[in-house]
Every structure is written in C-alpha cells, then in structure tokens.
Amino acid sequence: MPVIEASGVVKTFGTVNALSGLSMKVMPGEIYGLLGPNGAGKSTMIKIINGLLQPTSGTVRVGGYDISSDPFEVKSAIGYVAESSILYDSLSPRDFFEFVASVRKIDPAKANERVTKLADAFALRQYYDSPIATLSMGTKQKVAIIASLIHEPPLLLLDEPLNGLDARSSRILKDLISFHAEKNKAAVLFSTHIMEVAEHLCTRIGIIYGGKIVAEGSLEELRKKASTEKELGSKEASLEDIFLRLTHEEEEVTETVKILREAFLVGR
Amino acid sequence: MRLREAWETSKYPYVELTYRAAQLSGASATTATGAKDPKAQVKAVIKNAKISKIVFTIFLCIGMVIPFAEFGINHSPISLVGAVTLSLLISFAYLMLYSLQILPSFAGAEPYSLLLTLPLTTRDFSTVTLLSFVRTFDYLAIGSILVPVVTTGILTGSAAASVVMLGASIVNVIFAVMVGLWFSSLFYRNITRGGRSRGAMISRTLFLISWGFAAMSTGFVYQLATYTLPYVNQLISGNLSQAGGALIAALHPFTFGVAIASLAFPKFLPISYPISNTALFALVSYVAAACYVGLAYVAVRRTTRTISNITHGLGPSIIRVAAKEFTLKLRRPLSAYLMKDIRIASKNPSMAFLFALPVFETVIIAMSISGARMVGILDVASMTMMGSLFTLLASSMLLNTERTGLDYTMSLPLGPSVIINAKSLISTLIYLPVPVVVLLIELIKGGTVGISALFPFVEILAISAATTAEVAVFITARSGSTGVMKGSKSLAPAGFNIMSGENLGRTFKAIAIALFIVAAPVAFFFGLAAYGEITSILAMTLVAMAELIIVQVIVRLTR
C-alpha cells in the first residue's frame, strides 16, 4: 500500500493556482525527491499532506488515512521539517523536544536515547539550553530535524532540509535518511533545489511544474524521457539538464545567461 | 554624509527596529498558514507602531498637564512645586515604559547588522544609528519637552520659569532614555540567557512580572496624578526641618519644582539675613539643578557611547550554557502544552503584561473606593468583574502569542481539546490572584460583605468555563466558515491571530460568549439577593459549576 497517495489535488489561493490536479504515490522504503522551480507548488503540496493547508479539491491519503477526516492518525505518522523555521523561538531545544516527545506520547526511555544520540551527532551540546531565537539557521534546522526523527515516523516530509547545514551535518542527515528508508521501510518525501543531492539520494524523482507532476521516475527513467524530447548526443545528461529540459526552461536559461554575460562585458 | 541624508537613511533601521519590537511583543503574529499577504501585514505593523507612538505621546502630554490643574486653580507656590514634580515624574515613567517596549529589539543590534556591511565611515554609521534611535522617541521627546514649557509659561507668565522648565524637561528626557536603555539591555540579556537552573528561571520570571507591572503603570499614572498630588504637596508644605527641606530640594524632580516655583514667585525667595528656609531651599535647588544638567551631559555622552557599542555588535552578548546531559522530562500532552506556554511566558514581555493585567485593573478599581467607606458587596462585585473582564481579554491575547510555532503545533497529533484546556488553565491561573487581592482589600479597608466574600472565589469556576468556551469558539472551525475541513471540527488554519481580518468576527463572538458565561452566575447572585446571602452564593456556585460541566462536555465532543 502506498504511504502517500495523492489524487487530483488542486489548491488555489485567490486567483493563483498553486496546484492544478497533482497526483502522486510514494511507497514504503522510497526516497521520493520533489523537484521544481520556485513557486511550483512543492511546499504547498507538503503542507497539504501534513494537514497545514486544505486542498481546494482532490484527496490525499497517508498510510490509508484521509488527511481531511483522520488528521490525528496522519499526523501521528509524519515527521516534518519545514522550509523555514517554524519552531518556538522562546523555547530551548531541550524544551522543544520535551514538548514534541510528550505530545507524540513517545516512550521516555526511547525518546531520551534517540535525542541523546541525535543531539550528540549534530553537535548540539552547546546550544541545547539556549533559546532557539539565538541559534543560527543551520542549528535551528538541526533542531527541526531531530524533532522530526524522534518518533521514528513511517513518513518523513522534508522541505529543503539541508538549508543552512554544514557539510558534516548534511552528510549525517543524508545517511540517516537512507538508513531510515532502507531499514525501517519508511517513506521519505524530500523537496530540494540541490540537484546533486536529489541525484544521489533519491530513489525516485518527481518534477513538479505549473502545479502538476510533469515527469516522474528514477534518474535513468527521467534521462530517457528527456533524451526522447531532444537528442543529447553521447553526453549523459545531469539531473539539472533533465530538469530544465522537462520544464522547458532550457532555452530561457541559455538566453538569460547570454544577456547577463553581455551586461558584465559592457562595463569593461 | 550630510545630516539630512543621515536622517533619511536612519529611517530604514528605525523601521526594522519597530517591526522587530512588534514581533517581540507579539503584535505581529505571522504564521506560514495564517498570513495571507505578508507585505500588507508588515505595512500594518509599521502603521500600528506609528499610531501607538502618537497615542502614547497624546497620553503623555495629557498626563504632564493634569498635575497643573490644581496650580491653575489656587496659584500657590507649593502647588506649582507639586505640579512640576509630578509632571516630570509622569514624563519619566512614560518615556521609560515606552523605551522598554521598543528598545529590547534595539539591544539585540540586529536592525543594524546590514548597515555594518555597507561602505559607511564609522562616523556616518554612528550618526545614522544615533538618529534612528532618536526617531524611536521623536514625538514623545518633543511632547514631553514642549508641553510643560508652554503650560508653565501660560500659567506663571514667567520667562525665567519657562526657561528652567525647558532645561528640566530636557534633563528628564535624557535620564528616562538612559534608564530605559539600561533596562532594555538587561531585559535582552535575561531573555537570551540559556540554562535550566531554578535560579535563572526564577529571576527571569520575576523580571518579567515586574516588567508587566511597570508596563501597566502607564494606565496607572493618571490615577497617580490625582491620587498622590495631595500627598506631594503635603510633603513639601509640611513642617520640614531645614535639612529635610534642603534634601528634598536637592532631589530630582523636586529640585526643578522648587527652582521653577522660586522664579515664578520671587517673593518666595526673599533675600534677607538670616536666610529664610524657603530661600535656602531655592538656592539648594539652583545648585542641584546645575548639577543635574551636568549629569545629563554625562548621561548623553554615555548613552551615545552605549548606542554606538550596541550597533557595532558590542552590546549585551548571548550567554550560552553548555548542556551536561540531554535528558528529557516527558509529560502528558496537556501538561506538556501547559509547560510550553508557561516557558514561553517566562521569556516574553507581552505575556508578562497579560499576567499583570487583571490584578492591576482590580487594584485601580479599589483605588476608586473612597477612604472612609467600608467595602460593600457592590465594590467586591465591581473589582471581581474588572478582574474577570481583563482575564477574558488576556485569554484572547494568549492565542496571539503562539506566532510561528503554531504551524509546528498544527503538524502534531494534537486535538483541539488539549489546546483549549491548556489555554483555559493558564487564563484561570492569571485570574487566581484577583480574589486574593479583593480579599486583602476587604481586610485592609474593612468589609461588610460576610459570606459574600466568597463571590470572587466562586467566580473562578465561571472564569474557567468562560475562557474554555472563548478559546474553543475561536479555534474550532465550523462548517461553512473560512478554511474549514468539511465534516470535521479541526483547528482553523487561519492561524491564531485574533486581530487578523478573517478572525476578527470570531474573536468578538468568542469574547461575547465568554462575557455571558461570566455574567450569568453574577446575575443569579444579585437576582436572588432578596432570599439571603447564603442562597445567593449557593445559586451562583451552582450556576458556575453547571457552566463548567457543560463547556467541558462540549469540548470533549470536539476531540
């Protein structure tokens, strides 16, 4: 059974169509990368799955539960990292983890064991009792990541989780995600702008454009799809090339770069 | 950089400072799901801050003029001394309290961090930052300087007195700003301090509660003007010894009061030998005034240096306390939510304001009870209802303080009943000191109430029911309203911003229902008063208990 099953999801904000009938499935053990340009609807979709926004129409089911009618069951199964910090600034990381773990009714021994290991791994000792408002963006992100993993959720929703993380923490997180998906058969929905990360981490990629999934599959499948649209010759296309090809932005980007190059040369 | 250019440039860090102050105080409750138009919200915050500054200035000016009313009637030197003294005190209090609202975000220096990256000379940077600091007080400073000068000039007709009043006002503003800046740095250091030691938590909480009471004094100063002026005049005109009188004449703001009165009434200062007491006091005040002017000059230099240090990132630093272990103490969801709110309250000035509000308003009502009269049941009811009313307002404002963390909370498996009950428990806690204060007032003044002294204590039940209903009505979405999940009662995703356009109607509805719940037991009490005190209080208790049970049942059904 899919962990996430979205069907014909539409979301409008006034006259703006953020999502225009998006459909997707994420299976257990899968790391699904959601790629798209700014404003494509990635964060909107993640918030809908999480119950933070309601779809204008369409259905979303998580673990068989409908987010509209069974929000409690859905939220129990999700670990969420938002794109921007949505933590309580006045609380310290310790206060925040206590709050989250208590609300999620996690076994105290397990919660303490996991938090201790994660906080150590992410080098949080110096910041553990400082107000979150005083932490750097990267450290706040670490707090959010630990809070999302504390209950070993069957579904991780990660919206640009690597924002602000140093190389060490990025590597730890990527390895954790892979381990969690492989060993615990958890599903991970991962939104990122960093093509290299999606290329190496995700087992399946969905390209979202204009509020819809325009292409979906493994990297190889997407490569084949992109190359049927335009011949690439012997060069193996990177995910970035594939992305620009499938979202029909390749020519626009080439033109824009040409204009910028000319602008820089004018001053000389 | 020319001064005009620097003044224009100073607008940008000033706007940033204002916005951050609003965020700190909870006035800007932006959530990812609640803010429809962030740009419009930023504009609204800035506009509200400007209106707040203007309103503050108006209240300040009125507050500074009120003490002169008695002098305007009896035109005596003693009442002029009292008027000037109190006027300066009120100005000091208002300026300091205003600075406590705005300056904590200044102490963090974040509004100036971008300026530091621009190619500005050190001198230009210092000028811009100083001017942005001046912008925060411009209306208030102008008001607190000009208003007493004009008032003194009109009422005394003395140019010399007006000039000294000008000096006194400027000195007063400088002292108030300096003290306000010092307190703000202290406050900033307190809220950014880490650590879970009991001492740190207690000192933070006490600091915040004191801040809350101090903030409430802005409303109290009007009472002060009329209530304490007779005592001030009595103090001055009483049979003071030469030493006592000289001491008072040397103490700010009495110093300027005596100096101005002596210039407005030269016969108050007869040059004769042996020198009269009043002449001595006047001479002492002139010397002391000169010293205070010197002190103000030192204060200006010190304040300018402090501002420069802060904006250069040399202000109060964040103190980090490394954790020795990572242990978590887990609780039940309701207790965890309650603890979360209490922890946020211990570091948030707007929450301190909420905690102080009901008790303070109760005390203000108590002050209106004239000294000779004993406390009757109507007085008890008035004090209780005032405390209850402000508890309901505090309850609404508690929702506003969730801010961005609300988005995370809404992603957790939390039913509305947990949030409703947690907010209601805190609101009830806020109300709890009110019956104690009412009882104390009855004991101090003497009461005629008998068993009806239980009135405010029974009201605890009604408050609990009312605040539960208030929060429940606000946060539980109904079919057909904005952002509803059809067919299920869930947290309204428009956020907890009680003053946002789409939530305003819901806010008023919630408060109206809560008011009804609070008033119903009171109506029964007075309605059955003819049947005796015991019957009244019993009826009130039963109604309040019934309300609480009904509301709790309804809340459980929304789970």
Q: pLDDT tens across A149-189, in order?
A: 999 999 999 998 888 888 888 888 888 888 888 888 999 99
Percent of chain B with pLDDT over 70: 70
Closest residue in chain A to residue B339, using alpha carbons only: A99
Q: pLDDT tens across B489-499, in order?
A: 344 444 555 55
Query: 3-class SS at A216?
Result: strand
Closest residue in chain B to residue A94, using alpha carbons only: B328
Percent of chain B with pLDDT over 90: 20
User: First-to-last CA distance in chain B?
Assistant: 63
A chain contacts of residue B194, beta-carbon cutoff 8 Å: 92, 129-131, 134
Pairwise CA distance, residues A127 & A116, whole Å: 13
Domain range annotation of chain A: 4-77+153-266
CB contact (8 A) between residue A92 and residue B194: yes
Name the region of A104 (left: φ>0; alpha: ψ -120 to 50; beta: rest): alpha
Q: Which residue, among B25, B198, B325, B330, would best test binding to A if mutated, counting the most A CBs under 10 Å from its CB?
A: B330
Q: Please report the pLDDT score of residue B473 as a whole number.
A: 85
CATH 3.30.300.130 fits A4-77+153-266, yes or no: no
Sequence-distant (≥ 6) Cβ neighbours of residue B34 within 8 angstroms: B406, B493, B494, B495, B496, B497, B500
- Average pLDDT on B335-357 reads 77
**Looking at the complex, does the CB of residue B329 fall below 8 Å from at least one CB of chain A?**
yes
Q: Please report the pLDDT score of residue B386 as a whole number.
A: 83
Q: pLDDT tens across B67-95, in order?
A: 888 788 888 888 888 889 888 988 888 88
Q: Please report the pLDDT score of residue B317 as a whole number.
A: 61
A chain contacts of residue B418, beta-carbon cutoff 8 Å: 103
Closest C-alpha to A100, from B196, B426, B339: B339
- Average pLDDT on B157-178 reads 92
Q: Please report the pLDDT score of residue B197 as a whole number.
A: 61
Provide the token pair at B556: 């459980």
- Average pLDDT on A59-67 reads 91
A chain contacts of residue B485, beta-carbon cutoff 8 Å: 54, 68, 71
Q: Is the pLDDT of residue B368 over 80?
A: no
Query: 3-class SS at A16?
Result: strand
CB contact (8 A) between residue A131 and residue B192: yes
Q: pLDDT tens across B445-463, in order?
A: 777 778 888 999 999 999 9
- Among A108-112, A143-147, B230-234, where is mean pLDDT lowest? B230-234
- CB-nearest to A86 from B328, B335, B408 is B408
Contact indicator for B503, B497 with CB cutoff of 8 Å = yes
Q: Is the pLDDT of residue A45 over 50?
A: yes
Closest residue in chain B to residue A134, using alpha carbons only: B192
Sequence-distant (≥ 6) Cβ neighbours of residue A71 within 8 angstroms: A51, B413, B485, B488, B490
Q: Is the pLDDT of residue B309 over 90?
A: no
Q: Is the pLDDT of residue B29 over 60?
A: no
B chain contacts of residue A141, beta-carbon cutoff 8 Å: none
Q: Please report the pLDDT score of residue B230 as a whole number.
A: 61
Residue that wins the pLDDT comparison between B398 and A119: A119
B chain contacts of residue A75, beta-carbon cutoff 8 Å: 411-414
Closest C-alpha to A172, from A95, A117, A239: A117
Pairwise CA distance, residues A42 & A45, whole Å: 5
A chain contacts of residue B348, beta-carbon cutoff 8 Å: 90
Contact indicator for A143, A87 with CB cutoff of 8 Å = yes
Closest residue in chain A to residue B36, using alpha carbons only: A13
Q: Please report the pLDDT score of residue B227 as a whole number.
A: 59
- Split at pLDDT 50, 70, 90, the class of A32 is very high
Residue that wins the pLDDT comparison between B505 and B403: B505
Q: Is the pLDDT of residue B488 over 50?
A: no
- Among B220-229, B444-453, B476-485, B545-554, where is mean pLDDT lowest? B476-485
CB contact (8 A) between residue B323 and residue A90: no
Beta bridge partners of A204: A32
Output the average pLDDT for chain B: 77
For this complex, say whether ipTM is above 0.90: no
Dihedrals φ, ψ of B362, to 5°? -65, -45
The single residue listed with the structure tokens 């670490």 is A142
Q: Is the peptide bond before B270 cis (omega within 30 degrees of 0)?
A: no
- CB-nearest to B330 from A88, A98, A127 is A98
Q: Is the pLDDT of residue A114 over 50?
A: yes
Residue A140 C-beta-side C-alpha neighbours within 13 Å: 20
Q: Is the pLDDT of residue B487 over 50?
A: no
Pairwise CA distance, residues A170 & A122, whole Å: 10
A153 to chain B, closest Cα gap in Å? 12
A176 to chain B, closest Cα gap in Å? 20
CB contact (8 A) between residue A115 and residue B329: no
- Split at pLDDT 50, 70, 90, the class of A69 is confident
Q: Please report the pLDDT score of residue B54 as a whole number.
A: 86
A chain contacts of residue B558, beta-carbon cutoff 8 Å: none
Q: Please report the pLDDT score of residue A200 as a whole number.
A: 83
Provide the token pair at A59: 């259905």
Closest residue in chain A to residue B404, using alpha carbons only: A86
Q: pLDDT tens across B190-239, in order?
A: 666 665 666 666 666 666 666 555 555 555 555 555 555 565 666 666 55
Q: Please report the pLDDT score of residue B478 as a whole number.
A: 43
A chain contacts of residue B33, beta-carbon cutoff 8 Å: 47, 52-53
Q: Which residue, among A88, A125, A151, would best test binding to B if mutated, counting the most B CBs under 10 Å from its CB?
A: A88
Q: Is the pLDDT of residue B479 over 50?
A: no
Cβ-based contacts under 8 A for chains A and B: 156
Output the average pLDDT for chain A: 86
